[in-house]
């Protein structure tokens, strides 16, 4: 049997249940229904079926396990299985069939997958963490800059998280629209409704992006630099630790982070031209 | 002492410099790190570094030769918005020297908060309240700030009198801590989670300014947690400031601050009580420069090794190398069949090995380890 399923949490779960019933089935994953159907056409044989036909309902007990969270630790929420699957699927190296087999191996006690007892569970646990960390990294270190009355920022994420970043920036800078350039030269407009569009987040052409932000002015972050410099306690300088906290590989995220990383490396010069004269 | 003219950037530098020793991070995003490894999450500033107080350790104490400056509420709002939009900060940490009296100072702080929130600012706001702040103002701050509190600075009245001669520990600090806790509780009863700001109270200790032992600090934290619902204490190592009465004293070692933070987590996240930690302290009441959880485990050898598949959550979290998160994972997903599984579940085996067993098997002898 050939089972087609979409690359989302619900279908991964259904596919896992279906696989438990039909262990020898072949799995075919697609981005959306159309994509799955296209892919299914490439297979020979009659026993081709969409997963929802095989598993119309996910048992409630299993569904509840999906959202169940381990108790909070301090102020931090622990990931649920839903988070685990969602973010694993966004990893650039995720193989959805592998994930389905992992969930199926624990079915019906699927919550066990979170405990990362075996190699595969651990691999996907780290993959989902990598994606979560990438989002955190973008939220922490990207620095939108003012341009033409809007904000402008460039991002180059490794995983499929552009939509999450757009949602976040729209909420973060809620009084202005922001133009976001993703690494594949796609432009998006967050808070597009503030500029009269129907949508909150919208993909735009590069001409429109250029029209909105104009010629990108040289960014002036001297005020921020002054503040950053003022926060150093020289007697506590700890280069090794600071380098670990802000690794060089983050420098690509924004010019500010690049500069701060240099300051960690070489220290902050206490003398400027004004002191000299 | 009057203020000379300084540009906005110069004043910003002077006032931010005055708060660099303050610990005030929220639990969310670290936007960057300074070369000393501390993270920057908030725009930390004083409203002014002119102060009528004479605290012995403080660079802002009145009469000290220092460059004085202030920022107006509008200037602070403008800078905060600018940094926030640029995603360089999560919010604002606002402290101040005492301008005239605590009431006037808090009124200025409230001006900043009102303007910020009035302009749609959703970021995090942490306010250091003045000792002796009026009760109605604490209430108003609780409507606008995510964290607020008065600094306890030290552990008791006599030590406080030694270093802060202008204020009264019982009235200006402890009573205000009671009021801030009252304001937090009132807010919790009025607002549902996610529908408005529900702040929390905090306090800060200057570690090592009056020679207080760690035992006193730990007892005080325990007392504050019980009486004032304190969730998180902050610590600031005493660093002698030139031209102050304590300039000749020795700086408190940084590791002491770190060990106190670890101890406060044991109180907060592990549910330990100050008396559980008594054995960790040396004869003079000081913490050793070692992880207090590990020391505690070494001293309670009879309680180990614990069987990973049979012990309770509270027994598991006492094992070095097993934190609350991993303990949860283990409890939920038993049976654990091998040490490899344990390691893959997040147990730091190097530390935990001597303290745990799986069925009848133990990997390292505790005697050999201790
Ligand atoms: S009241 Fe605060 S700012 Fe003023 S001297 Fe005391 S510690 Fe310093």
CATH of the domain at B145: 3.20.20.70
Examine the domain organization and report whether A39 and A111 are in the same domain.
yes
Is A220 in CB contact (< 8 Å) with chain B?
A: no
The alpha carbon of A205 and the centre of ligand 1 are apart by a number of angstroms equal to 55
Return the pLDDT at B133: 95
Q: Which of A65, A138, A233, A255 to mutate to test the interface with B (most CBs of B within 10 A)?
A: A233
User: Residues B73, B101: one domain?
Assistant: yes
Q: Are residues B52 and B177 in the same domain?
A: yes
For residue B327, what are the domain limits?
A: 300-369
Q: How much is the pLDDT for B370?
A: 47
Question: Is B85 within 8 Å of A151 when comparing Cβ atoms?
Answer: yes
Whether residue B187 is contained in a domain is answered as yes
| Helix, strand counts (H, E) of chain B | 14, 10
Same domain, B107 and B55: yes
- Name the A residues in 173-212 with CB < 8 Å from any B CB: 173-176
Q: Is any Cβ of chain B less than 8 angstroms from the Cβ of A170?
A: no
Residue B1 maps to a domain: no
Residues B312, B273: one domain? no
Least confident of A25-34, A189-198, A217-226, B6-15: A217-226
Indicate the average pLDDT of chain A.
87
Domain match, A28 and A127 both = yes
DSSP state of B339: H
**Which residues, numbered 15 to 74 in chain A, qualify as contacts with chain B under a Cβ-Cβ cut-off of 8 Å?**
70-71, 73-74
Residues B275 and B311 in one domain: no
Same domain? B209 vs B315 = no
Residue B19 placed within a domain? yes
The domain total for chain A is 3
A154/A207 same-domain check: yes
Say how far apart CA B115 and CA B143 lie, in whole Å. 13
Give every strand in the sheet of B42-46, ordered side by side: B42-46, B91-95, B124-129, B147-150, B200-207, B232-237
Interface of B with A in 152-211 (CB under 8 A): none
pLDDT of residue B42: 93
| Average pLDDT estimate for A248-264 | 87
| Structural domain containing residue A225 | 218-276
User: CB B254 to CB A236 under 8 A?
Assistant: yes
8 Å CB contact of B88 and A224: yes
When pLDDT is averaged across residues A31-50 and rounded to a whole number, the result is 87
Please give the number of the atom of ligand 1 that sits closest to the Cα of B46.
3
Whether residue B170 is contained in a domain is answered as yes
Among chain B residues, the shortest Cα distance to A146 is held by B86
**Tens digits of residue pLDDT in B155-199:** 999 999 999 999 999 999 999 999 999 999 999 999 888 788 998
> How many other β-carbons are positioned within 10 Å of the β-carbon of residue A160?
16
Element (H, E) at A131: helix A119-141
Are residue B115 and residue B174 in the same domain, yes or no? yes
Q: Which parts of chain B register pLDDT below 50?
A: 370
Could you tell me if A164 and A248 lie in one domain? no
Distance A20 CA to ligand 1 centre (A): 68
- Give SS3 for B62: coil
Residues B134 and B186 in one domain: yes
Residue A175 has pLDDT above 90, yes or no: no
Q: Count CB neighbours of B209 within 10 A.
A: 25
Establish if B17 touches chain A: CB-CB under 8 angstroms. Answer: yes
Q: Give the pLDDT of residue A142.
A: 92
**Nearest chain B Cα distance for residue A101, angstroms:** 19
Interface of B with A in 22-51 (CB under 8 A): 27, 29-40, 43-44
Q: Which residues pair with B235 in a beta bridge?
A: B205
Using alpha carbons, list the distances in angstroms from residue B312 to A107, B222, B351, B364. 26, 24, 19, 22
Query: What pLDDT sits at residue B160?
Result: 95
User: Taking CB atoms and an 8 Å cutoff, what residues of chain A touch B332?
Assistant: 70, 111, 115
Interface touch A117/B333, C-beta < 8 Å: yes
Residue B289 lies in a domain: no
Residue A90 DSSP symbol:
T
The reply to whether A197 and A164 lie within a common domain is: yes
- Give the position, in ligand 1's atom list, of the atom nearest the Cα of B167: 1
What φ, ψ does residue B306 adopt, rounded to 5°? -100, 145
Asked if A264 lies within 8 A of B35 by C-beta distance, the reply is yes
Kind of pairing, strands A187-190 and A178-182? antiparallel
Residues of chain A positioned with their CB less than 8 A from the CB of B225? none
Read off the pLDDT of each residue in A238-266 and give the average, rounded to a whole number: 88
Closest CA to B297 of B327, B323, B324, B320: B320
pLDDT value, residue A48:
87
| CATH number for position B353 | 1.10.150.320
Q: What is the ipTM of this complex?
A: 0.82
Between positions 264 and 283 of B, the ones with CB within 8 A of A are 265, 268-269
Among A72, A76, A223, the strongest candidate for a mutation testing the B interface, having the largest count of B CBs within 10 A, is A223
Model pLDDT, residue A277:
46
Instruction: List strand residue ranges (DSSP E) for chain B, in order.
Output: 32-33, 39-40, 42-46, 91-95, 124-129, 147-150, 200-207, 232-237, 306-307, 356-357
Same domain (yes/no): A121, A48: yes
Judge whether A262 is closer than 8 Å to chain B, CB to CB. Answer: no
Share of chain A above pLDDT 90, in %: 42
Number of compact structural domains in chain B: 2
> Which residue's CA is the closest to the ligand 1 atom numbered 3?
B97
Domain boundary among A183, A213, A243: A213
Same domain, A151 and A205: yes
The verdict on B314 and B195 lying in the same domain is: no
Chain B residues lying within 8 Å of A172, measured CB to CB? 87
**Partner-chain contact B33 A246, CB within 8 Å:** yes
CB-based contact A174 B21, cutoff 8 Å: no
Rg (CA), chain B: 23
Q: What is the pLDDT of residues B197-220, one digit of tens each?
A: 998 999 999 999 998 999 999 999
Output the six-digit token pair for A157.
């994420």
Question: What whole-number distance in Å separates Cα of residue A12 and Cα of residue A5?
Answer: 7
- The token duo for B14 is 């002077």
Interface of A with B in 100-159 (CB under 8 A): 111-112, 114-119, 121-122, 136, 139-146, 151
Does B267 share its domain with B308? no
Residue where one domain finishes, among candidates B219, B247, B280: B280
pLDDT at A166: 95
Tell me: do A120 and A19 sit in the same domain.
yes
Cβ proximity of A19 and A100 under 8 Å: yes
Q: Which residues in chain B are contacts of A190 at CB distance < 8 A?
A: none
pTM, two decimals, is: 0.84
Q: What pLDDT score was predicted for residue A194?
A: 92
- Please tell me the distance between residue B58's alpha carbon and the centre of ligand 1 in angstroms: 6
On whether both A152 and A109 belong to a single domain, the answer is no
User: What is the per-residue pLDDT across A202-224, written as a single tens digit (0 to 9) for each?
Assistant: 999 989 998 988 877 677 788 89
Sorting pLDDT into bands at 50, 70 and 90, what band is A185?
confident
Which 8-state DSSP code applies to residue A180?
Answer: E
Decide which of A190, A213, A236 is a domain's last residue.
Answer: A213
Q: Looking at the complex, does the CB of residue B112 fall below 8 Å from at least one CB of chain A?
A: no
- Count of A-B CB contacts under 8 Å: 150
Q: How far is B96 from B296, CA to CA, in rounded Å?
A: 40
Assign residue B128 a region: left if phi > 0, alpha if psi is -120 to 50, beta otherwise?
beta
Q: Taking the CB of residue A76, how many other CB atoms lie within 10 A of it?
A: 9
- Please report the pLDDT score of residue B6 as a whole number: 84
Q: Is residue B243 assigned to a domain?
A: yes
**Which candidate from A174, A221, A231 shows the least CB-CB separation from B20?**
A231
Among the candidates A161, A194, A213, a domain finishes at: A213
The beta-carbon neighbor of A267 closest among B16, B27, B35 is B35
Contact of B88 with chain A, judged by CB distance below 8 Å, is answered with: yes
Residues 6+ apart with CB under 8 A from B184: B142, B198, B199, B200, B201, B229
pLDDT for residue B290: 92
User: Among the three residues B249, B280, B311, which one is the final residue of a domain in this structure?
Assistant: B280
Same domain, B142 and B253: yes
Atom of ligand 1 nearest to the CA of B51: 4
Q: Are residues A125 and A41 in the same domain?
A: yes
CB count within 10 Å of CB A41 equals 9
Same domain, A10 and A103: yes
Q: A91-123, pLDDT tens digit by residue?
A: 999 999 999 999 999 888 888 887 777 888 889
User: How many of the other CB atoms lie within 10 Å of CB of B200?
Assistant: 21
Beta strand ranges found along chain A (DSSP E): 2-6, 26-30, 48-50, 145-147, 150-155, 178-182, 187-190, 201-204
B219, B251, B280 - which closes a domain: B280
Tell whether A61 and A7 lie within a shared domain: yes
Question: Are residues B305 and B187 located together in one domain of the fold?
Answer: no
């Amino acid at each position: 049997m050939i089972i087609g399923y979409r690359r989302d949490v619900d279908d991964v779960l259904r596919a896992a249940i279906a696989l438990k019933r039909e262990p020898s089935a072949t799995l075919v994953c697609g981005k959306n229904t159309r994509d799955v159907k296209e892919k299914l056409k490439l297979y020979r044989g009659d026993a081709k079926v969409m997963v929802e036909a095989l598993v119309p309902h996910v048992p409630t007990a299993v569904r509840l396990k999906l959202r169940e969270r381990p108790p909070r630790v301090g102020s931090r929420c622990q990931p649920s299985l839903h988070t685990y699957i969602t973010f694993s699927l966004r990893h650039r190296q995720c193989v959805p069939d592998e994930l389905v087999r992992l969930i199926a191996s624990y079915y019906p006690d699927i919550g066990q997958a979170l405990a990362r007892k075996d190699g595969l569970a651990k691999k996907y646990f780290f993959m989902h963490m990598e994606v979560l960390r990438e989002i955190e990294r973008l939220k922490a270190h990207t620095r939108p800059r003012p341009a033409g009355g809007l904000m402008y920022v460039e991002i180059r994420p490794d995983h499929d998280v552009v939509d999450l970043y757009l949602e976040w920036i729209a909420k973060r800078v809620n009084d202005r629209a922001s133009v976001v350039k993703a690494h594949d030269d796609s432009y998006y407009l967050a808070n597009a409704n503030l500029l009269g569009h129907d949508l909150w987040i919208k993909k735009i052409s590069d001409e429109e992006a250029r029209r909105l932000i104009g010629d990108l002015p040289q960014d002036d972050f001297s005020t921020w630099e002054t503040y950053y410099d003022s926060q150093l306690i020289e007697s506590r300088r700890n280069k090794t630790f600071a380098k670990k906290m802000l690794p060089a590989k983050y420098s690509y995220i924004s010019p500010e982070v690049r500069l701060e990383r240099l300051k960690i490396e070489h220290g902050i010069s206490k003398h400027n031209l004004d002191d000299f004269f | 002492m009057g203020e000379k003219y300084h540009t906005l950037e110069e004043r910003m530098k002077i006032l931010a410099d005055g708060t660099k020793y303050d610990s005030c991070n929220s639990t969310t995003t670290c936007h960057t790190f300074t070369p000393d490894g501390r993270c920057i999450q908030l725009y930390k500033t004083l409203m002014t570094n002119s102060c009528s107080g004479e605290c012995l350790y403080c660079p802002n104490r009145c009469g000290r030769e220092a460059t004085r400056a202030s920022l107006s509420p509008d200037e602070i709002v403008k800078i905060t918005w600018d940094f926030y939009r640029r995603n360089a900060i999560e919010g604002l940490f606002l402290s101040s020297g005492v301008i005239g009296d605590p009431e006037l100072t808090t009124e200025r702080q409230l001006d900043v908060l009102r303007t910020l929130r009035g302009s749609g600012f959703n970021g995090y706001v942490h306010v250091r309240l003045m000792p002796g702040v009026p009760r109605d103002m604490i209430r108003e701050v609780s409507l606008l700030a995510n964290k607020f509190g008065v600094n306890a600075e030290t552990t008791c009245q006599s030590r406080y009198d030694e270093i802060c001669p202008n204020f009264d520990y019982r009235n200006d600090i402890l009573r205000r801590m009671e009021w801030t806790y009252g304001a937090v509780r009132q807010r919790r009863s009025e607002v549902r989670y996610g529908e408005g700001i529900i702040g929390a109270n905090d306090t800060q200790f200057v570690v090592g300014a009056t020679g207080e032992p760690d035992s006193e600090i730990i007892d005080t934290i325990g007392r504050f947690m019980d009486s004032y619902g304190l969730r998180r204490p902050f610590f600031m190592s005493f660093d002698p400031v030139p031209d102050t009465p304590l300039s000749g004293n020795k700086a408190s070692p940084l590791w002491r601050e770190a060990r106190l933070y670890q101890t406060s987590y044991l109180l907060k996240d592990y549910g330990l009580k100050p008396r559980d930690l008594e054995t960790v302290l040396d004869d003079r009441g000081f913490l050793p420069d070692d992880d207090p959880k590990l020391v505690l485990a070494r001293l309670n050898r009879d309680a180990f090794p614990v069987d990973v598949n049979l012990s309770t959550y509270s027994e598991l979290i006492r094992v070095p190398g097993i934190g609350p998160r991993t303990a949860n994972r283990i409890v939920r997903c038993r049976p654990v069949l091998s040490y490899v599984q344990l390691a893959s579940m997040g147990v730091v085996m190097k530390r935990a090995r001597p303290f745990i067993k799986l069925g009848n098997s133990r990997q390292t002898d505790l005697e050999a380890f201790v």
